[in-house]
Amino acid sequence: MKFIVLLGVVSLFADATYEGARSITGPFLGSLGASATIVGIVAGLGELVGYALRLVSGYLSDRTRRYWTITLFGYFVNLLAVPALALAARWEMAAALIIAERFGKAVRNPPRDAMLSHATSEVGRGWGFGLHEALDQIGAVLGPLIVSAVLFLKGSYQSSFAILLVPAVMAISILVAARILYPTPRDMEAESEELTTRGFPKVFWVYLAAVAFVAAGYADYPLIAYHFGKVSSVPRDWIPVFYSVAMGVDALSALFFGRFFDRLGIVVIIGAVLLSALFAALVFLGGFGLALVGVALWGIGMGAQESIMRAAVANMVPADRRGTAYGVFNTGYGIFWFAGSALMGYLYDISILWLVAFSVGVQLVSIPILAVVKRSGVSDRGVV
């Protein structure tokens, strides 16, 4: 539990750093002369890099067994790229640092999740990953608020990035302390009989297919915020507040779903998908009140995706292949998220009703696939 909390606090300060930065990178690039097209390309390329490279990172962490080394390197790049934005005088330099931040996150996530999975074997996969996600999202709420406070006090974008050096240093310091205190996280998990196959079990691929449908139907918050601003269903000053509400709900739902996942297994993921799939109809078709409810449901879905969906992977894959498994899982998730987001952006310009139908329908397709995973029992009892 101490190790889980340490990594959770690291994620708290890390999220405060880069989520704070991401709340203003768009207008910051614009202030340096970048066009809207450039902003969109930089954001999209950053996300693609941030997910695609996780496959490589996960494979290398399993192959070399240097989980800590790769995790530390990733965090250093991920976090120090943010305050460096304060020194960017041209949009090209800022774009390179934004992509570098996503690169660092791609490098450190699979080996970190693999180490986290060892600790959660004792306290419960769902509860362990849920607690980690809850701490993570506290930082996601605080970061944008810190930046908002700096700007409210008449600070510049550069001073906002500079002050984020403080949580960045805190995150790195705690991470180094965790490395010293727990040099071999694998020792926290009792040895189990490994699967004889060289690849992943079939249930892992079936599960990944289900998660891919969820990801493809999940609208990015920037698209939701764009809609709020375009139709004025939510006042402009309230749009970031709605995002903070979503992040807060994300944290609470991660804890809730995590606890019940350990008792009930994959059926909790099915329930979370059924509940969160309704968000699109509310945020894109409703007024202020319904939009707020929709954003809360969006946060519930994010909490489930970032906690129990990760926890289930650890129950399907042998300990010595989890880095690779998390790399494959995150890469597949990211690719389908990117493809779905691009399609929903296109559908928005054609018909909002088509967008809503696509979002809800594609997510619901995952339900029967998850039911197949449930019947296998592997995701509930772990690798045997």
pLDDT in tens, 224-246: 877 887 888 888 667 767 877 88
∠ CA 18-272-263, nearest 5°, is: 105
CA 125 – CA 265 distance, rounded (Å)? 10
pLDDT: which is higher, 258 or 69: 69
32 φ/ψ angles, rounded to the nearest 5 degrees: -95, 5
Section 330-338 average pLDDT? 85
DSSP code per residue over 130-166? HHHHHHHHHHHHHHHHHHHHHHHTT--HHHHHHHTHH
Neighbouring CB atoms inside 10 A of 237's CB total: 7
Lowest mean per-residue pLDDT among 189-193, 212-216, 235-239, 273-277: 189-193
pLDDT at 167: 97
**Among 223, 206, 349, 381, CA closest to 295:** 223
pLDDT at 198: 60
8-state DSSP, 312:
H
CA 324 – CA 57 distance, rounded (Å)? 8
Section 31-38 average pLDDT? 79
Residue 221: pLDDT band (50, 70, 90) is confident
Check pLDDT > 60 for residue 195: no
By percentage, how much of the chain surpasses pLDDT 90? 44
CA 138 – CA 254 distance, rounded (Å)? 12
Residue 181: pLDDT band (50, 70, 90) is very high
pTM of the model: 0.78
∠ CA 300-304-305, nearest 5°, is: 115
CA 38 – CA 207 distance, rounded (Å)? 35
Section 308-337 average pLDDT? 86
Give the type of residue at 291.
A
pLDDT at 384: 37
Residue 191: pLDDT band (50, 70, 90) is low
Structure tokens at 90: 């041209």
Residue 150: pLDDT band (50, 70, 90) is confident
pLDDT: which is higher, 83 or 51: 83
Domains and CATH numbers, the chain: 1-189 (1.20.1250.20), 197-384 (1.20.1250.20)
pLDDT digits (tens, 9 = 90+) for 38-53: 776 787 677 778 888 8
By percentage, how much of the chain surpasses pLDDT 70? 93
As a three-state string, the secondary structure of 209-248 is: HHHHHHHHCCCCHHHHHHHHHHHCCCCHHHHHHHHHHHHH
Structure tokens at 215: 């990801």
Residue 292: pLDDT band (50, 70, 90) is very high
Residues near 150 by beta carbon (within 8 Å), at least 6 away in sequence: 159, 160, 163
Section 120-142 average pLDDT? 88
Long-range contacts of 259-262 (CB under 8 A, 24+ apart): 259/124, 259/126, 259/127, 259/130, 260/126, 261/124, 261/125, 261/126, 261/127, 261/130, 261/308, 261/311, 261/312, 262/124, 262/125, 262/126, 262/127
Neighbouring CB atoms inside 10 A of 353's CB total: 12
Which residue's structure tokens are 């189990």?
192
Averaged pLDDT score across all residues of the chain? 87
pLDDT at 157: 85
- Helix H segments across the chain? 2-22, 25-31, 36-52, 54-64, 67-84, 91-123, 125-152, 157-163, 165-181, 202-216, 221-231, 239-264, 267-276, 279-285, 288-306, 308-316, 322-350, 352-376, 378-381
CA 318 – CA 191 distance, rounded (Å)? 10
pLDDT: which is higher, 240 or 309: 309
